[in-house]
């Protein structure tokens, strides 16, 4: 690896530190008893508890003025100013640590530990008067910190590809991005607290599966050498969670890493987090009410309000959400009534509306394509779309009143799908026939068609109670509740091409 001038200088400093007997990467820990945020929030002159504080973090600025210096230390909670006096941090007979180590061999980005007392400067800034300072880890690459001149900020670390590829740098130099991930964690905790309060059990299901099922998606395939069998990274955990309902649990949920061999865009990443929850003796009407409850709670827990800003829109998660059937939505936004149309009529309608179709699509997929092209973008406020074509929903119970449809809803917010839910199919004979239809679609070239899962059918034959199930994309929910327009902004490490690829 070719090094630039700054990298070379920092490596030379590393060597000189060791010559002076200072280990740049000491093994022992450093006891911290305070944080930058706590000091800013709680310090008052004369208030006890601030006469001996220890903090650790990165050296982010340094202003040397003879035998005294000011610096900024950044820990996980924010920044605090340091005041460092040469005669107080060095023994009287040896000023090497300040004159050479601190002034010349330490760099912006180095991780340090300090001990001192809190005070207020003459300019009114809360600061730490440092009594001792230790180098805890040497930074060998200069941080891409923004510069400011005449009130104009430039050279900021803003390139999305660089930020996503080097998230560890992004978090250091753009500390505001941390709030996004803190909120993401709060979202998961909010949902988990609600589920646990209802008595539902959090479980874990296999990531490596012998049959890819539970969703319409193209899987990643691998091979297990010892068993000499093909395996698939799970595209969904639905069929395993339903097995647990068969086994007698009446409410189970999982925050699962799923994998789908699909394209990457601002709302898709091949690896993503999905929440799925299944509750026995409920149907999709009950699940709509429960979904409203959980999302309103999450919005309030994370942002303090049921109304959130998302791009140019103010979106309200206050109950109730709008509800409309897929057919009614196509009628409202595309101006056509597709009720009773066969495949040929649907193709003709799509052509009239300028919607391109794949020849392999059946009637259900055509309806879904019409909906995607003409309706989705209009669904800004939370909207439940109900009653999907049978062909699109091989794991869903047939509609109790409408032939050719199933009891399914999807929730759309800000023009994108957020959640998918069913009254779950629990008739093993019907499920077998649905799987056979999926095999026919696969034979027509549909790479997202489901495979036959004989063990799941056997489980259903032992009896599964009436059940409602729901899946939510946690990444998309995080986008909505943190006002991010790209899924890459809510993933610590989004999938990217190799750097030299």
Summarised one tens digit per residue, pLDDT across range 39-49 is 999 999 889 99
Q: Which fold has domain 178-321+381-490?
A: BirA Bifunctional Protein; domain 2 (3.30.930)
Cα distance between residue 108 and residue 157, in whole Å: 16
Task: Please provide residue 312's backbone torsions phi and psi, each rounded to the nearest 5 degrees.
Answer: -90, 0
**Domain ranges across the chain:** 5-143, 178-321+381-490
pLDDT for the residue numbered 441: 79
pLDDT of residue 92 exceeding 90: no
184 vs 391, residue with greater confidence? 184
- Mean pLDDT for the stretch of residues 175-186: 95
Q: How many CA atoms lie within 13 A of 133 on its CB side?
A: 28
pLDDT for the residue numbered 444: 79
Domains 5-143 and 178-321+381-490 share a fold: no
Do 37 and 77 form a contact (C-beta atoms < 8 A)?
A: yes
Summarised one tens digit per residue, pLDDT across range 416-460 is 999 999 999 999 999 999 899 888 878 877 777 888 899 999 999
pLDDT for the residue numbered 501: 54
Q: Which fold has domain 5-143?
A: OB fold (Dihydrolipoamide Acetyltransferase, E2P) (2.40.50)
3-state class (DSSP) for residue 324: strand
Share of the chain above pLDDT 70, in %: 99
Do 469 and 421 form a contact (C-beta atoms < 8 A)?
A: yes
358 Rama sector, left if φ>0, alpha if ψ -120 to 50, beta otherwise: beta
């Amino acid at each position: 690896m070719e090094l630039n001038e700054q990298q070379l200088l920092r490596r030379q400093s590393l060597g000189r530190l060791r010559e002076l007997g200072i280990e740049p990467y000491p093994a022992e820990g450093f006891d911290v008893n305070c944080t930058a945020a706590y000091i800013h929030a709680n310090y008052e002159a004369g208030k006890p508890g601030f006469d001996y504080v220890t903090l650790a973090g990165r050296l982010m600025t340094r202003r040397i003025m003879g035998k005294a210096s000011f610096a900024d230390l950044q820990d996980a909670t924010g920044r605090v100013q340091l005041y460092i006096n040469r005669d107080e941090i060095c023994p009287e007979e040896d000023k090497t640590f300040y004159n050479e180590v601190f002034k010349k061999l330490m760099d912006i980005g180095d991780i340090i530990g300090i001990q001192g007392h809190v005070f207020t400067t003459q300019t009114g800034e809360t600061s730490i008067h440092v009594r001792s300072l230790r180098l805890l880890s040497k930074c060998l690459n200069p941080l891409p910190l923004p510069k400011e001149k005449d009130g104009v900020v430039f050279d900021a670390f803003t390139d999305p590809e660089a930020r996503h590829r080097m998230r560890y740098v992004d978090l250091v130099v753009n500390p505001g991005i941390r709030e996004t991930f803190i909120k993401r964690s709060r979202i998961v905790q909010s949902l988990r607290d609600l589920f646990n309060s209802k008595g539902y059990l959090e479980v874990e299901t296999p990531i490596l599966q012998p049959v890819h099922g539970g969703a319409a998606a193209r899987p990643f395939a691998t091979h297990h050498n010892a068993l000499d069998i093909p395996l698939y990274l799970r595209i969904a955990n639905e069929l395993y969670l339903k097995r647990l309902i068969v086994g007698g649990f009446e409410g189970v949920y999982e925050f699962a890493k799923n994998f789908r061999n699909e394209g990457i865009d601002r709302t898709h990443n091949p690896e993503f987090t999905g929440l799925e929850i299944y509750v026995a003796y409920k149907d999709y009407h009950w699940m709509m009410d429960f979904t409203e409850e959980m999302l309103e709670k999450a919005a309030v827990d994370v942002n303090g309000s049921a109304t959130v800003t998302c791009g140019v829109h103010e979106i309200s998660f206050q109950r109730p959400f709008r509800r409309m059937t897929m057919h009614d939505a196509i009628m409202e936004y595309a101006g056509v009534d597709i009720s009773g149309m066969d495949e040929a009529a649907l193709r003709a309608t799509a052509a009239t509306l300028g919607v391109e179709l794949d020849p392999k699509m059946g009637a259900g997929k055509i309806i879904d394509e019409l909906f995607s092209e003409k309706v989705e973008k209009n669904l800004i406020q939370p909207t439940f779309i109900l009653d999907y074509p049978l062909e699109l929903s091989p794991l869903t119970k047939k509609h109790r009143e409408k032939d050719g449809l199933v009891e399914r809803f999807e929730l759309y917010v800000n023009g994108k799908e957020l959640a998918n839910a069913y009254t779950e199919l629990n008739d093993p004979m019907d499920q077998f026939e649905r799987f056979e239809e999926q095999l026919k679609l696969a034979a027509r070239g549909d790479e997202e068609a489901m495979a036959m899962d004989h063990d799941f059918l056997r489980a259903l034959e032992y009896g599964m109670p009436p059940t409602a199930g729901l899946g939510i994309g946690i990444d998309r929910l995080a986008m909505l509740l943190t006002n991010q327009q790209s899924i890459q902004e809510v993933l610590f490490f989004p999938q990217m091409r190799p750097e030299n690829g």
